Amino acid sequence: MSGPLRLVQDEGGAERTMQLRTLPLKLRRQAPATPVQPEPEDELGLSADPLDELAERLNDICADAVHPYEIAAILESDGLSDEQAALLYGRPDAFTVAEELFEKVQRRYPGPSSEFANPWRADPWRCVVRGLVFALPGLGYLLGANLFATARMRFGLPSGMLALSVATLVSWGFNQALAHRSYRWLSRVRRRDAAVCLAVGAPMGALVAATAAYVVGGPLGSLCFAAGQSAYLGAATVLLVLGREKFLLVALAPASVGAGVVLAADVPEVVRTVVLLASVALAIGLAARELLRCVRAGDKDAPALRLPLYQELPHLLFGLACGALTLIAGLGETVHQAVQASGHTVHAVHTTVTHAAAHAGAHPGAHHAAGQTKAALTGPAMIALTLSLGLAEWLLFRYRAMAVAALRTSHTSAQFGRRTGGILLGCLFIYLTTVAALDAAATVLWPGAPALGVPQLGAMLLLGGSLWLALLLNAFGFSWSTALICLAAAVAESVGLLTGADPIALQLIGCGAAALLLTAIAGPALGRTTQHR
């Protein structure tokens, strides 16, 4: 989910981007077998209206258009200027040409054709796998729970947990930007360059995140755990971007099995550490193998191409904002109680801190089964959010597929806007309903978990809805808008939390405002036909 969605899901790496169709080439007329006497108005070889010939050439395009502006966009993309419109067709500008073409050609709306097949198809099983690989890393926190000593408290958390949280935020932001840059290479059919980008960026991101954890400080065991998590997240980014999410299931198998054993029996610390290292080593090894294969198979003689780095900045900020909002949802209540208990010095009570380790540093939406009071309250919500990420990706593809279908069948731009608005609300409703259902199921399965109250459920749904809308707008190129809105919500919630405000109220206000703004942007922007051509 880190970057623009590829149009065609192809394991072979055939990544393509949507391009405007250029004007059909003028067909060469065959010489007639017998001389034909020209019509009186065609003695010089000119038609009565040169626009008739253009209408014939653009018949299919004009028949599918729902507004003259669509035709004007295609004319301008093909290089038709106002001067050429006046010289060649006797019209003052390209928009006048487009309007007359729109009137000349009868609407047909044939629906999707072989020439312009709907490219937004997603394999639902692949999305299920991606949802699992987003959620399963949280099982690693069962195995590493003993590494977070509670002797030193900072902001209501064990010092090691604070370092892990900082490392998670850094990894989230860095890998979001890295994934987007790699997808930009893939969209240009430069798989080798994408692999080189990942080979350089993933280790760099892991090193930066581990260094950030070391600067914050904490017990040696927790710092080693943070370093291992950073390395895993870098390797996971490589495999996800290159479409090898099934390899991540293999890498996560030791940690998943080990977590199940830990729930049933007491496992020595050495065994837990070996199992965690096995999962990290498998992820790194599989990622390195895939990168090496892509580099060797790539075209080394491809022309040089440079992509500006500044375009990754909004995605880095968006990753940081998503991480902060998710951590506040998981740890907000613990930090709030610590602030209330100790004023603004922020020293925590031992019994409330232990359970916060459940959610601090996971891949989007971590969880831990040490759940008693606070972990049991937020754990099911975090599980629901992580498991729903696969559905979120599928719904992004589904929205774009249905929007393209609406573009092919709508008769007016207003009708298209209404249809896309309904599609948007429908996809959002399906996603939020599924999140609520997953939370209810996780609450039943989580030992001792209380039922989620209406305010808590509302805060979780607003967070999930905000992130889904932000991902959708990111896919359409509104990266700065989504990054700034989510970042503003994250900063506001963080400041409010550290000053003692109620975390649920903060999430309702922060995520609610973000969801409202994102919806206000998405409705009009995605209702324009030019966004879907």
Shared domain for 70 and 185, answered yes or no, is no
pLDDT exceeds cutoff 60 at 343? no
Residue 458 placed within a domain? yes
* β partners of residue 342: none
Return the beta strands (E) in 322-446 as ranges: none
Question: Using DSSP, how many helices (H) and how many strands (E) does the chain show?
Answer: 20, 2
Note the pLDDT of residue 55. 87
Are 134 and 274 part of one and the same domain? Answer: yes
Write out the residue range of the structural domain in which residue 73 sits. 50-104
Query: What mean pLDDT value characterizes the chain?
Result: 81
Q: For residue 192, is it within any domain?
A: yes
Q: Does the residue 321 lie in any domain?
A: yes
- In a shared domain, residues 91 and 138: no
372 and 479 belong to one structural domain: yes
Higher pLDDT residue, 426 or 331? 426
Among the residue ranges 90-99, 234-243, 490-499, the one predicted with the least confidence is 90-99
Asked if residue 111 is part of any domain, the answer here is no
Q: Is 15 helix (H, G, I), strand (E, B) or coil?
A: coil
Same domain, yes or no: 61 and 133: no
Q: Which is more confidently placed, 24 or 237?
A: 237
Same domain, 199 and 254: yes
- Both tokens assigned to 80: 């038709």
Percent of the chain with pLDDT over 90: 44
Q: What's the pLDDT at 117?
A: 57
Mean pLDDT of 234-255: 94
Q: How confident is the model at residue 152 (pLDDT cuts 50, 70, 90)?
A: low
Residues 513 and 397 in one domain: yes
In a domain, 234, yes or no: yes
What would the pLDDT profile of 450-474 be if each residue is shown by its tens digit?
777 889 899 999 999 999 999 999 9
Q: At what angle do helices 389-409 and 373-387 cross, to 10 degrees?
A: 40
74 and 193 part of one domain: no
Neighbours of 86 (CB within 10 A): 15
282 shares its domain with 397: yes
Q: Which of 92-101, 137-146, 272-281 has the highest mean pLDDT?
A: 272-281
Residue 50 confidence (pLDDT): 82
Number of domains forming the structure of the chain: 2
SS3 469: helix
Q: Is residue 115 part of a domain?
A: no
Where b means 16+ CB within 10 Å and e means fewer, 422-448 reads ebbeebbeebbebbbebbeebbeebee
Give phi and psi for 303, each to the nearest 5.
-60, 150
Average pLDDT of the residues in 490-500: 93
What is the spatial distance between Cα 82 and Cα 481, in angstroms, rounded to a whole number? 33
CA–CA separation, 162 vs 81, rounded Å?
Answer: 59
| pLDDT tens digits for range 175-223 | 999 999 999 999 888 899 999 999 999 999 999 999 999 998 888 888 9
**Which of 385, 361, 531 is CA-nearest to residue 465?**
385
Looking at the fold, whether 149 and 71 belong to one and the same domain comes out as no
Provide the pLDDT confidence category of residue 430 given band limits of 50, 70 and 90: very high
Residue 3 lies in a domain: no
3-state secondary structure of 154: strand
Residues 62 and 184 in one domain: no
Asked whether residue 297 falls in the same domain as residue 407, the answer is: yes
Residue 149 domain-assigned (yes or no): yes
